[in-house]
Structure 1
Amino acid sequence: MATEKQPQRLGEKRKETEEEDASLPDLRFVREKLQKFQSKMLRDFDQRLSCMVEDVLQDLRQQELRAHEFPNFGKSDPKSTWHNRVTSKAPADVSDSPNGHANGGATPTTTPAHQSEKSGQKQRRRLPEKVFVARESYLTALLQVEHMRTIYHIFYIILIMFLLNVICYDYFVDGRIDLGLGTFRGGLRRLHWVMGTWLLEHVFVLALYFAFRGWALVRHKLKPHSSLQHFWSHSCLILYVSYQLVFCFVASSLCLKFDLPFVSGCVLLLESTRLLMKMHAFVRYNAARVLAGKAKQEDPGEENEEKPTGRPYVPPLSCYIYFLFAPTLIYRDSYPRTSHIRWKFALNRLLEVVAIAFLFAFIHERHIHEHFGQYGLEPMDASKLIFKLFGMLLPCQVIFLCGFYLILHSWLNFTAELLRFGDRMFYKDWWTSHTYDAYYRNWNVVVHDWLYEYVYKDMYVHVFRGSKLAASLAVFMISAVVHEQILGFAFQMFFPVMFFFFGIVGVSLVFLMRSAPKVLGNVFLWFSLISGNGMLMSLYAMEHYARKNCNLSHDNWTDHLVPAVWRCYN
């Protein structure tokens, strides 16, 4: 029996070994996959760990720099100096908000953005609120450091040398000294029409305040009649939207009616857009108070203290007038104020505005007009066009950087100093950004705050119901349309290059650069800014001079849509 079982056992063992040999390729395949997965996980972990360590070291370096180099930057809580938002007391996830930084040391001045619609329903995250803190601008703080102040002096000398170059060229070549005054004369033609329109617009803006007060008081009197109250509120809402649309239409049509040059048209359209944003900020902020039933309280310092009258609270006219001229687009009844006006600081900012304006005139005459002034009249091929585009990269980048410094630093600090406006965070350190998310947040904090408070939050809460992606895309599209509307009517042409660069290319880069390493991301950001601004300004200059130089017919409405850059040579 033993001899019969032995071959049988040998056969079973042989069968088991054959099955093991057959399963070896599968085991090898699984082992290889697991090893690849393990190596990939370790590589990602090492990369994330190195990025986290780099972030921590960078924060430590910045903290040390703030403590030693920037003693006058923020005398209060450093968090309230570097950030401008604070979350509500309810649990919130700030990390995925458009400006995801909490602000310690300040309290929100508005009510929570939204509440849960039904009891028991999971409440969406509360979005952080804008707060105002007395603080200086980034560049003002940086220029307190001797090393940065030396670089500032170098730029002053470069500007003076450029001015001497222009004077010598005008005197020895043209036999006269112009100093770019021809550009000023051509760009600021019909400026008196712009000033008259600007004054008339302020009359309508002030009328909105009294219209809003009338809506609030009538709504309160109609409180016993809910149907009439709803009808009154909806009718006023329709009138308000119509008022905004008519205001925008009149400003745009006047550019065509008066045939304003580019600079005058930009002044009118930018001021009209600013007033539109101011009006909406006032109405949006105070309408929420009226609808919430906030009553007007009597002054507690009075002897005969009474109970609340129940009348809706509307801020006094002085708060509204101060807001119209304050360098912010976010309405509050009061803001942090400085103790006095530094006249020397204000005068320096005003001189910077004048100097940069002359620099723009020089760049227009020596570069833009020289490169594209004969576009449409001279022969053009691909090589010559590429040569012109590359020749405009650095001048356009100078326009980009000086435009930022002119508006967001010099002009806003000048007006803030005259009005003793304390919060000078008009921009952040956008030059260190490595993603387009951070660049758009930090580049223009004034406009970004308005888009966040009155567009993003309303879209997130009321329209898209918690979808931050859809709300963000809506903000980008609205911003791109407004940018294109200003440039289109200022140039008096349909040429949607800004919409393409900002609304399509810019939005795409937001998602493409989110996982980019810091150094590579910052290098690519600057490369894209230099090349993109060069192409953008060059294309608009080419289209402007092509329409001016080429005698093009507009027999059909489609002729207005086809770019003159193409029609001149085709």
Structure 2
Amino acid sequence: MAAESQAKRMEESQQLQFVREKLLAFQKKMIGDVEQRMSCLIQDVMLDIQQQQLRQQFDNSTDRTSAGNGNIWHNRQPQTANGKSAESDISDSPNLQSDAAAQNETTPASKQHNNEKEKQQQQQKQQRRGLPDKVFAFRESYLTALLQVEHMRTIYNIFYTILVLFFLNVICYDYFVEGHINFAFDTFNGGLKRLHYVMGIWLLEHIFVLLLFYAFRGWAIMRAKLQTHNSLQRFWSHSSLIMYISAQLVFGYVSTSLCLKLNLPFVSACVLLLESTRLLMKMHAFVRYNAARVLAGKLKTDNEPCPAPMPSLQSYVYFLFAPTLIYRDSYPRTTHIRWKFALCRLLEMVAVAFLYAFIHERHIHEHFHLFGKEPMGASQLIVKLFGMMLPSAIIFLCGFYMILHSWLNFTSELLRFGDRMFYKDWWTSHTYDTYYRNWNVVVHDWLYEYVYKDCYKYICKGSKTASSLLVFMISALVHEQVLGFALQMFFPVMFVFFGVVGVALVFLMRRAPKTLGNIFLWFSLILGNGMLISLYAMEYYAKRNCELSYKHWTDYVTPALWRCYH
């Protein structure tokens, strides 16, 4: 009996142990499921909060009238007529209170006279309110912030998938049709030919730009020594100004003439011309910003003005490579470099470069390489133009992404440059003036700060329309100069599209409804870029395929595509 009872107890204990193990396993599984669900819920809540914050930021950024200094997407800081911001006017309120106390002690007649005088001064100050200044702040690019949202990230992944499928299509076509895989290396070899000459010229240009710093310092020191001799000081400043303008003209002339003398291909010529234009804009920004401080006799810092003749060479060198065209002695800097982020931007640029090469081989060269040899009528021309609409749209969008997002974010990350607002939400624009302001903020800031404001203050005397037209003409001429010398032909289609049609659309679309305006904007951008790339391709291949004679000056300005068929 004792043995049976002991066996029974052992069996019961084994059953209890089995039940206990099952309960522990169930408890562990339940705890794991609860933890997983809680983790998912926390992630969903955090993602909803982040998306709500981003939505509020972008909603505030679209409200142009109510944008304030607290909005990270706000690019300007209002100025009063005396050059102070609104914040400095508010900080002067103790002085206004002391003036009011002094007025209370005066007689009623003088008090009335002072009140009238103060009202007149306030009215004049409001009428002469200055244009806002560029402000720098810590902020990411629009797409960097948008891609933190899961839905936008999915669209980004879809584009990556389409890009991979396009590459596979090209590889399969090369292998099964051509018999070998090319990877568009012929296009790269032809476009980047003589790139070592470009690098040598680039180094010499940077030596010239560094010499400008010491030349400007010499002008400032000599001007300070001639302070007691007004006539000599004025002669020295005017002579230095003439030398500076001459140096800028020579700098631009040498870079453009070298494209013709070295017979640079299109890509190498674009690299040289765009880099030369960037350095010209950098030099003018440095001289224009610091010349005003030298003429004022003091260096204005963020806290208060203090006497100082020139900024440091370190600030100047950092500015030369920083992804901005607006000079400041210092910029917002990040604490560290995100190497993974920088590598992703670099790989994106490489992928877009290969995509451009494939588009050139599969579409541009395929459509137009026989232009000038084959018969061309209205029907054939229309088919070619519409066949280039979709590839031109891809070139337009990928060019924006590669230069204004990938390249500028890549250089910003390496230099720890904090302000990444290189563009705004131009894709939501329903007017062309909003599109031009938001498309390329880097160049727009330079045109606004050093062309528009100076023209508004000193040349056009308060006329915003005339100042805007001058900005458009300068921008259109520079765009045409880069394309014309890179392709080595006179064919001012870019100037007409940008400086004439673009300006007309600015005034025509100002009162357009938002939905219809945005649709028309995208329609005109896709149509315009398709026509632009098609016309330049026709002209380029017509000059190569047609044996044209140049006996009169009109032969140089008449388009080759016209002379080929007429």
Aligned-partner residue type, residue 152 of structure 1: Y
Contact kept, 8 Å, 1:435 with 1:516, in 2: the verdict is yes
* CA apart distance, 1:313: 1.8
* CA apart distance, 1:80: 3.3
Out of 354, 367, 377, the residue aligned to residue 373 of structure 2 is: 377
Q: Which residue of 2 aligns with 1:81?
A: 72
Name structure 1 gaps, 5 residues minimum: 1-62, 93-101, 108-117, 301-306
- Give the 3 Å change call, closer, same or farther, for CA 522–368 of structure 1 in structure 2: same
CA RMSD of aligned residues (A): 2.8
Structure 1 position 211 matched with structure 2 position 215: yes
Out of 463, 468, 482, the residue aligned to residue 486 of structure 1 is: 482
Structure 1 position 143 matched with structure 2 position 118: no
SS at match of 1:552: coil
If each structure's helix is expressed as a fraction of its own residues, which one has the higher value?
2
Contact kept, 8 Å, 1:134 with 1:422, in 2: the verdict is yes
* CA apart distance, 1:556: 1.3
Q: Which runs of 4+ in 1 moved over 4 A?
A: 63-66, 68-74, 89-92, 102-105, 118-123
Structure 1 position 472 matched with structure 2 position 477: no
Q: Which residue of 1 aligns with 2:190?
A: 186
Distance in 1, matches of 2:339 and 2:164, equals 24
TM-score, with structure 1 as normaliser = 0.80
Out of 415, 424, 430, the residue aligned to residue 428 of structure 1 is: 424
Out of 515, 532, 557, the residue aligned to residue 561 of structure 1 is: 557
Structure 1 position 226 matched with structure 2 position 222: no
Structure 1 position 158 matched with structure 2 position 158: no
Aligned-partner residue type, residue 462 of structure 1: Y
Distance in 1, matches of 2:123 and 2:362, equals 67
Structure 1 position 128 matched with structure 2 position 132: yes
Distance in 2, matches of 1:420 and 1:72, equals 24
Contact kept, 8 Å, 1:187 with 1:264, in 2: the verdict is yes
Aligned-partner residue type, residue 245 of structure 1: L
Q: Which residue of 1 aligns with 2:264?
A: 260
Aligned-partner residue type, residue 53 of structure 2: A
SS at match of 1:82: coil
Distance in 1, matches of 2:207 and 2:436, equals 33
Distance in 2, matches of 1:153 and 1:528, equals 27
Structure 1 position 449 matched with structure 2 position 445: yes
Q: Which residue of 2 aligns with 1:523?
A: 519
Contact kept, 8 Å, 2:51 with 2:149, in 1: the verdict is no
Distance in 1, matches of 2:133 and 2:182, equals 50
Distance in 2, matches of 1:274 and 1:399, equals 22
Q: Which residue of 1 aligns with 2:328?
A: 332
Out of 53, 57, 65, the residue aligned to residue 67 of structure 1 is: 53
Contact kept, 8 Å, 1:319 with 1:334, in 2: the verdict is yes
* CA apart distance, 1:295: 5.8
Query: Per-residue CA shift, 1:171-203, capped at 9, x if unaligned?
Result: 111111111111100000100000000000000
Aligned-partner residue type, residue 71 of structure 2: S
SS at match of 2:72: helix
Contact kept, 8 Å, 2:69 with 2:77, in 1: the verdict is no
Contact kept, 8 Å, 1:376 with 1:568, in 2: the verdict is yes
- Give the 3 Å change call, closer, same or farther, for CA 295–261 of structure 1 in structure 2: closer
Structure 1 position 463 matched with structure 2 position 459: yes
Contact kept, 8 Å, 2:80 with 2:130, in 1: the verdict is no
Aligned-partner residue type, residue 185 of structure 2: L
Contact kept, 8 Å, 1:138 with 1:427, in 2: the verdict is yes
Distance in 1, matches of 2:57 and 2:476, equals 39
Distance in 2, matches of 1:369 and 1:209, equals 45
* CA apart distance, 1:120: 9.6
- Give the 3 Å change call, closer, same or farther, for CA 498–145 of structure 1 in structure 2: same
Contact kept, 8 Å, 2:79 with 2:130, in 1: the verdict is yes
Distance in 1, matches of 2:227 and 2:499, equals 44
Question: What does residue range 241-256 of structure 1 map to in structure 2 within 5 Å?
Answer: 241-256=245-260
* CA apart distance, 1:362: 0.4
SS at match of 2:417: coil
Distance in 2, matches of 1:400 and 1:229, equals 50
Aligned-partner residue type, residue 190 of structure 1: R
When the two structures are aligned, how many residues end up with a matched partner? 479
Distance in 1, matches of 2:175 and 2:431, equals 47
* CA apart distance, 1:167: 0.5
Name structure 2 gaps, 5 residues minimum: 1-48, 61-67, 91-120
Q: Which residue of 1 aligns with 2:415?
A: 419
Contact kept, 8 Å, 1:546 with 1:564, in 2: the verdict is yes
Q: Percent identity?
A: 71
Contact kept, 8 Å, 1:262 with 1:490, in 2: the verdict is yes
Distance in 2, matches of 1:458 and 1:240, equals 18
- Give the 3 Å change call, closer, same or farther, for CA 547–290 of structure 1 in structure 2: same
* CA apart distance, 1:343: 0.1
Structure 1 position 315 matched with structure 2 position 320: no
Distance in 2, matches of 1:71 and 1:282, equals 33
Distance in 1, matches of 2:289 and 2:54, equals 40
Aligned-partner residue type, residue 389 of structure 1: L
